[in-house]
Structure 1
Amino acid sequence: MLAAIWAQDEQGTIGKENRLPWHLPNDLKFFKQMTEDNTIVMGRKTFEGMGSRPLPNRQTIVMTRDKNYKASGVIVVHDIDEVLAYAQEFSGITFIAGGSKVYEEFLPYCDVLYRTVISHTFDGDSVFPEVSWEDWTLINLSPGEQDEQNYYSYQFETYQRKVCPEQEE
């Protein structure tokens, strides 16, 4: 199964200089909880923005056009078909985890979307691509817990792709 997971502000901002423009520990916990023992796919710039190291207890796939790119502890791929073939064989969930261009390329193939919406606007240089929301059904909505560590109001949303009649045949 292929799923996208991301956090965004009210305007769709997802990053600034290949990093998150906010600090929201509960969203990081949610990301960890969802992706552990699964696979995450990200672009090279996102990977390098995280310090060029794979996250523990999950397989990391880094996408890049650079045929000579190497990174320790990750699978490096150069096109979408490699990831789609991997996801088809993998028994767990393959999570698309950024950046904007990678989300845009994989959105048509995702079965589930996990979105955290932060009730604030941030300065950023990367936004989540346009989503045709009529193709998706909201299956879970839960408010995030706000406290001194999680300053902003936010909510977790889960969407499942609607099945088209021609897909059922």
Structure 2
Amino acid sequence: MITMIAAAAENRALGKDNQLVWHLPNDFKRFKSLTTGHHIIMGRKTFESFPKPLPNRTHIIITRQKDYKAEGCIVVDSIEKAIESCPKNEEAFIIGGGEIYNLTLSFADKIELTVVHHNFEADAFFPEIKTDDWELINSDFQSKDEKHLYDYTFETYIKKQKTPQ
């Protein structure tokens, strides 16, 4: 199963200048609990935004750079090769960034989305989730508090099965 996981604002903003524009500790905890022990697929810029590789995950980096090296990571030049690098019987996660999300939406079976209830200026955006293609199966609203400046909702979508005409 291929799962996209992201946090996006109401205007679908993901970040600016290769950085998140909010800090939601509970979203980080959710990301860690869902992705630990799995393969994570990302673009080169997303990988380079981390201070070091995320522990207990197999990193698959998609890049057009021919000589790109990242110690301990799998480097590929296409979405298809990234997906082929993942075990077939395990969940793998697409973790961004914006360009990778747009390229992989058709490959995904599930979306784990944190909706940040605010609009932000950004240069990377999550693709629109079309209700014809996706079904919301879980929604868990969280109110802002001393550690979270914004209200947010954890949402889970599954791809609708197309019925033959």
TM-score bucket of the superposed structures, by smaller chain: over 0.9
Contact 2:12 2:128 in 1 (8 A): no
Identity of counterpart residues, as a percentage?
44
Answering whether residue 120 of structure 2 is matched by residue 128 of structure 1, we say no
Match of 2:31 in 1: 31
Match of 2:7 in 1: 7
**SS in structure 2 opposite 1:97?**
strand
Match of 2:82 in 1: 83
Q: Provide the C-alpha distance between the structure 1 equivalents of 2:71 and 2:147, rounded to a whole number of angstroms.
A: 32
Match of 1:49 in 2: 49
Report deviation, 1:50. 1.5
Runs of 4+, deviation exceeding 4 Å: none
Q: Provide the C-alpha distance between the structure 1 equivalents of 2:81 and 2:142, rounded to a whole number of angstroms.
A: 35
Contact 2:140 2:155 in 1 (8 A): yes
Report deviation, 1:105. 1.0
CA deviation vs aligned residue, 1:18-52 (integer Å, no higher than 9, x gap): 1111111110111001101111111001111122x
Gaps spanning 5+ residues in structure 2: where? none
**SS in structure 1 opposite 2:132?**
helix
Contact 1:19 1:50 in 2 (8 A): no
Report deviation, 1:104. 0.9
TM-score, normalised relative to structure 2: 0.94
Looking at secondary structure, tell me which structure has more helix per residue: 1
Match of 2:152 in 1: 154
Report deviation, 1:72. 1.3
**SS in structure 1 opposite 2:115?**
strand
TM-score, normalised relative to structure 1: 0.92
Match of 1:138 in 2: 136
Report deviation, 1:145. 4.9
Match of 2:109 in 1: 111
Report deviation, 1:74. 1.1
